[in-house]
Amino acid sequence: MRNPLTILRQRLAAHREVRADGGTATEAGSILDRDSVRSAPFWLPPFLLIGLFIYGAIIWNIVLSLTDFQGLGSPDYSALDIENYVIAFTGGTPSWSSLTVDPVWNAAWNTVVLMVSFSVVCLAVGLVMAILVDQEIRFENTFRTIYLLPMSLSFVVTAKFWLYMYNVETGLVNLILGAVGVGPIEIVQNPDLKLAAVAFALIWQFSGYAMIVYLAGLRAIPTSHFEAARVDGASTIRMYWRVIIPQLRTATVSALVVLTVFSLKAFDFLFSMYGGYQPGPSADILATRMVREAYANGNWAYGSAIAVLLFIMALAIVAPYIYTQYQRGEL
């Protein structure tokens, strides 16, 4: 009787001989049979289009920011430098203009203030609304729809709506302030209230989104956690503060990333509310400064440099979140 181990060795040797003769064809056939290759007609064209029109445009914008292009003729790529970034941080008279250009610190500060105030207050309002809706109240679906409805509106519609709400004579806000003996107050054109008015309108629009994210997080927490806290004698406020809210960290981070990115894209809102690229120094953000430099002043390369700075801010917000999700295996 032949040894089974000997038979196994002979079969492996025969398999190696077959692979030696037709290995290349077999490997080529296995590559062509892969799902990724067979589905290439479906995913490859969108991949190439995204690579060209998004990532290609980002790279081209970075290169353009290193030139002195002002919108006339073709950019000169033979002498690239970082002058536009130096002017953005320090101001002064650049080589491509005879006029003094202000640095972007004021717009950058307004951008950060809007981003932080809008995001933090939006999260707080959304959390409170989510806790209230989570109490198994009647007409829950109706309330959720009402809270989430403003998010379906565009920035343009929201800006026009709140422009009417802030109206000195007929706006609901000033009618309420007048009823309590405070108003009417010029809100839209008041330098001290401009940025707060913008933040308040954006909070109204996006707090419903934060509520939905938190509500999903609350529904994912086991009921036993609530019951255990009540058995231990914790009050409702202490239960949420000590037990429930710490478990909403993932929901908080996810909502925070989306809200901060939305705050960086508030150009449409400001342009619609103030009817142009110039909302005033007290409400000027990087997005409006970028468009104003490129289209109103003709400083295309300088506008591209501001766009790169805005892109870096967005990347600094999104990249840590994506990396964390990747480390957890959730991406």
Helix (H, G, I), strand (E, B), or coil: what is residue 187? Answer: coil
Assess if residue 49 is contained within a domain.
Answer: no
What is the per-residue pLDDT for 7?
55
Assess if residue 91 is contained within a domain.
Answer: no
Question: Do residues 4 and 122 share a domain?
Answer: no
pTM for this model (two decimals): 0.80
Q: Which residue type, as a one-letter code, is found at position 77?
A: Y
Question: Do residues 135 and 25 share a domain?
Answer: no
Question: Do residues 29 and 152 share a domain?
Answer: no
Q: CB under 8 Å to 119, separation ≥6 — which residues?
A: 256, 259, 260, 263
Assess if residue 100 is contained within a domain.
Answer: no
Question: Do residues 124 and 271 share a domain?
Answer: yes
What is the per-residue pLDDT for 32?
59
Residue 29: how many other CB atoms lie within 10 Å: 10
What is the per-residue pLDDT for 27?
54
Q: How many separate helices (H) and strands (E) can be counted in the chain?
A: 16, 0
What is the per-residue pLDDT for 18?
47
Assess if residue 244 is contained within a domain.
Answer: yes
Structural domain for 23, as ranges: 1-38
Phi, psi of 153 (to 5 degrees): -80, 150
Assess if residue 182 is contained within a domain.
Answer: yes
What is the per-residue pLDDT for 6?
59
Residue 253 sits in a domain whose CATH number is: 1.10.3720.10
Question: Do residues 135 and 284 share a domain?
Answer: yes
Question: Do residues 264 and 127 share a domain?
Answer: yes
Assess if residue 70 is contained within a domain.
Answer: no
What is the per-residue pLDDT for 13?
57
pLDDT by position in tens, the chain (length 331): 555 545 545 655 555 554 444 445 555 556 656 677 778 788 888 889 988 898 999 999 999 999 888 877 788 888 888 999 999 999 888 887 778 888 999 999 999 999 999 999 999 999 999 888 888 777 778 888 888 888 888 888 999 999 999 988 888 888 888 888 887 888 888 888 899 999 999 999 999 999 999 998 988 888 888 888 888 877 888 888 888 888 888 889 889 988 998 888 888 899 998 888 888 888 899 999 999 988 888 888 999 999 999 999 988 888 888 888 778 776 6
What is the per-residue pLDDT for 11?
55
What is the per-residue pLDDT for 8?
46
Assess if residue 77 is contained within a domain.
Answer: no
Tally of domains within the chain: 2
Question: Do residues 133 and 242 share a domain?
Answer: yes
Assess if residue 17 is contained within a domain.
Answer: yes
Question: Do residues 10 and 112 share a domain?
Answer: no
Closest CA to 207 of 151, 167, 153: 151
Question: Do residues 33 and 122 share a domain?
Answer: no
